[in-house]
Amino acid sequence: MLRRKIIDPQISVVMVVQSEGRLAHRSAGSAHRAVSYAREKGLRVELIAVLDSPSTETRAYFDEYAEIYSRIETLELNDRGAARNHGVELASGAWVAFLDPGDLFSENWLASAFDYSSEHNSQKFVLHPELNVFFNRQKVTVCDSVNSDSDDYSPLELMEYAPWTSLSFLTRAFFLDRNHYLAGSNLGFDQQQWLWNCEVIAHGAIHRLVPHTAHFIRVQEERGRPAGQLLPASELFESPVLDDLASREKSLSLNQKPPLPPRSDPQTWSLPKRSAIALLRPFPKLTQLTIDLKLAMGRLGPRPFIEPNPLADCPWLFDEWREIHTVDTDLFPRRQVLRTLGRQRVPTSYVSRHYAEIEQQFGNPTHLFLLPCLTRGGADAEAIMFMTTVLEEEPDSRVTCVLTENWDSSWLAKLPPQISVVHLENLLAEFSAEEKACLLLRLLIQKKPRVIHNVNSALGYKLFTEHGDTLSSHSRLFVSLFGFEFLPGGELGGYAVWDLANCIQYLSRVLTDNQWFADRLCEMYGFSPSRFTVVYVPAPPGSSAVQVHRPTSVLNVLWASRFWREKRPDVLHEIVSQLGSGGFHFHIYGGDINDAEIDGIFEALKRLPNVTTYGAYEDFQALPLSEFDVFLYTSERDGLPNVLLEATAAGLPVIAPDVGGVKEIINDRTGFLVNGPENVKEYVDYLSRIRSNYQITSARLKAAADLIRTRHSRTSFVSILRSLPDFLVEED
């Protein structure tokens, strides 16, 4: 039996238990075995049990075995990290070793860790076992770890992988010097342990492995990150720690640092993983990696191993594996276990090597906008309005625009120079969506912008859906949505269909430019209207007075849009064909032809005598608007198109179909609303009426101008933004 009281202990073993009941007996047996071994080596070791919100069964067990513990303390914290802090406060040893219930450590762990620490004489070493053995009765996977100061390892890889388990050995003085676990926070212990491993590096610690030692970790059900447990920020991913790491990297490079293994090299063991994004245990499920082993005569069975043997370089582990069987009968190198025995090397996090570079480009934004790209289109125009208005109304704001797709961004020149632009896809082109999400998530957690506004970024929706709880704990999350996508056969699609329902609970507000779309989403999904805000964007400056003139013998009709299928160029062609060349001339601006059928329509239009085509345009206001008499718009789906505001502001009467939110700007008072996107006859009738009596446009142009002046003014736009939670902050 172990002695309960130890005079002047050198090592304090702190075991925190909660509701494990008699399962803790196996872990306690492992601790007793290692303590006895260490004492045989002449070391003084005490064993401390901290019962944190214990179950009745757990309390009864420790009452029964109280004589073998130097101290048993009962708390009601329900916080394993805080309980560890308390255990260290109780400890008397100069070194502290932690043990979780359900886990076991090799017999030599305490003695070998003490010898390693004494030999290296470092107060800032945090020691871990060389191997981690994840087990249940049927499956075993052996996982390597890594020294944090290894030449081919960067601590920034912690953003993606968690190579160290909770079993650690360190000096009590270092732990008490600002290296406690973060207690009283909304973190589970997995998150607390990951954060602690990061923070101690930021405070100068070096994680080292003790040779020929093992941590046996019982695998129960697969665990995700429980609801309500948030992912934490860490000093490791901020300056000046980043600067120190960069200096170290530079020094290693000058001294011929070993190159990273190629991503395609199978020896990197870049296998399915449990990542630091999810903050599960750091290695894969036991079923994710298996190596078929053939058995032959020998000490582990009737026949010795025939290669491949993933543990050929650590025969000592089999000795420990067999001997610890007397402590935990689930552990034994049975034949069926050995047939599926797997080993995972520490994978390389390639994406983390770009973190410091991208972190510098991010700056420290108050407002961060996520877009796939920045090119000609209504959504991008509205995003530019949002960003520009933030800078104008809040001069101390800092705006960063993150482009998440590798598309052409021809409108970048429209952004004010104060805005930081991060071409994430260009920098991370060869990485997977999961890797990009990992890096971007870490930056958003570290930077904590006041506002994160997603305008059609798939990567943004991925983060909002999977980590909206974390992001919304420190940032206001907004999305802008404008309308549905229509898929072949009439199926509805787009982010509003695929993603919104999965993240709306984390959003401060869903922004849209038309009431029709907000009402439709609430009707379809049962969303509360309070989650939506209609932001009517400002119209461009136009003429101060409505000037109606009678055109000459020819009515000059302007059509300006993309030559995309949903813009219905086929309807345009039919309208032009029916009207013929007598009294009508169509001026067609359009580009971005994206399929052969639409290209054929465009070529057919070019051959008509009453058509002039001009190709794509970049700025509607730069067109020779005074030369046109009416604006014709054809589309089968829309939100509230900006081009209708631009045409109205230019004093052009507008003919447009009743789709989406179009009738919120064009109706029978303000323009000419066509009943449906395919009603060619009504388009033709309106054009004919306008040509025969242009004065009928007068009252409608005046009503449209009044609507633009009031609802679509900059003053109204800013007022709406100020009504959003924390989007704009009033100056003191």
Q: Taking the CA atoms of 36, 38, 43 and 47 in sequence, report the sign of the dihedral they define.
A: negative
pLDDT grade for 261, boundaries at 50, 70 and 90: low
**DSSP code string of 10-72:** SEEEEEEESS-GGGHHHHHHHHHHHHHHHHHTT--EEEEEEEES--HHHHHHHHHTGGG-SEE
Residues of the chain with CATH 3.90.550.10: 1-222+233-243+273-349
In this predicted structure, the answer to whether residue 222 has a pLDDT above a threshold of 60 is no
pLDDT grade for 68, boundaries at 50, 70 and 90: confident
Tokens representing 101 are: 């219930």
In this predicted structure, the answer to whether residue 622 has a pLDDT above a threshold of 60 is yes
pLDDT grade for 639, boundaries at 50, 70 and 90: confident
Helix-helix angle 433-447:458-472, to 10 degrees: 40
> Pick from 197, 186, 272: which is nearest to 234 by CA?
197
pLDDT of residue 590: 87
Considering the entire predicted model, what is its pTM?
0.86
* Beta-carbon contacts of residue 70 (< 8 Å; ≥ 6 apart): 4, 5, 6, 9, 12, 46, 47, 48
pLDDT of residue 224: 54
279-301: pLDDT as tens digits:
323 333 322 222 222 222 222 33
662-680: pLDDT as tens digits:
999 999 999 999 999 999 9
Between CA 6 and CA 45 the distance in angstroms is 7
Tokens representing 284 are: 């894969």
pLDDT grade for 259, boundaries at 50, 70 and 90: low
Rounded to the nearest integer, the mean pLDDT of the chain is 87
Between CA 370 and CA 539 the distance in angstroms is 24
pLDDT above 90 covers a percentage of the chain that reads 67
Give the lowest-confidence range in 38-47, 346-355, 499-508, 661-670: 346-355
Question: β-strand 71-75 against 492-493: which pairing, if any?
Answer: unpaired
* Beta-carbon contacts of residue 177 (< 8 Å; ≥ 6 apart): 203
Residue type, 505: Q
Mean pLDDT of 537-554: 71
CB 720 within 8 A of CB 535: yes
In this predicted structure, the answer to whether residue 568 has a pLDDT above a threshold of 80 is yes
pLDDT grade for 599, boundaries at 50, 70 and 90: confident
Tokens representing 460 are: 């943004």
Question: β-strand 45-52 against 11-17: which pairing, if any?
Answer: parallel
Using DSSP's 3-state secondary structure scheme, residue 66 falls into helix
> Pick from 696, 588, 636: which is nearest to 492 by CA?
636
- Alpha carbons within 13 angstroms on the beta-carbon side of residue 284 total 17
492 or 686, which is more confident? 686
In this predicted structure, the answer to whether residue 270 has a pLDDT above a threshold of 50 is no
- Looking at residue 414, the DSSP 8-state letter turns out to be G
Between CA 170 and CA 182 the distance in angstroms is 17
Has domain 555-712 been given CATH number 3.40.50.2000? yes
Residue type, 224: G
pLDDT of residue 565: 86
From residue 603, give the alpha-carbon distance in Å to each of 313, 561, 563, 576, 611: 71, 16, 11, 14, 11
In this predicted structure, the answer to whether residue 260 has a pLDDT above a threshold of 90 is no
Residue in the structure block whose two tokens are 């009941």: 21
Q: Determine phi and psi for 526, rounding to 5 degrees.
A: 75, 20
Rg (C-alpha) for the chain, rounded Å, is: 34
pLDDT of residue 298: 28
Q: Taking the CA atoms of 69, 70, 74 and 78 in sequence, report the sign of the dihedral they define.
A: negative
Q: What angle do CA 103, 83, 10 make, to 5 degrees?
A: 75
Give the lowest-confidence range in 347-351, 410-414, 548-552, 655-659: 548-552
Q: Determine phi and psi for 274, rounding to 5 degrees.
A: -100, 120
Q: Taking the CA atoms of 684, 686, 689 and 691 in sequence, report the sign of the dihedral they define.
A: negative
pLDDT of residue 638: 87
Residues of the chain with CATH 3.40.50.2000: 355-534, 555-712
Mean pLDDT of 307-316: 76
355-534: which CATH number, 3.40.50.2000, 3.20.20.140, 3.40.50.720, 3.40.50.2300?
Answer: 3.40.50.2000
Residue in the structure block whose two tokens are 């007793």: 32
- Alpha carbons within 13 angstroms on the beta-carbon side of residue 450 total 15
pLDDT of residue 548: 64
SS (H, E, C) 165-212: CCCCEEEHHHHHCCCCCCCCCCCCHHHHHHHHHHHHHHCCCEEEEEEE
197 or 378, which is more confident? 197
CB 683 within 8 A of CB 676: no
pLDDT of residue 294: 24
pLDDT of residue 257: 57
Mean pLDDT of 708-715: 93
Between CA 145 and CA 162 the distance in angstroms is 9
pLDDT of residue 283: 34
pLDDT grade for 263, boundaries at 50, 70 and 90: low
In this predicted structure, the answer to whether residue 645 has a pLDDT above a threshold of 60 is yes
pLDDT of residue 285: 30
List residues bridging with 15 in a β-sheet.
49, 99
From residue 281, give the alpha-carbon distance in Å to each of 158, 161, 294: 13, 10, 29
CATH class of 1-222+233-243+273-349: alpha beta
pLDDT grade for 250, boundaries at 50, 70 and 90: low
pLDDT of residue 254: 54
pLDDT of residue 225: 60
Mean pLDDT of 600-608: 91
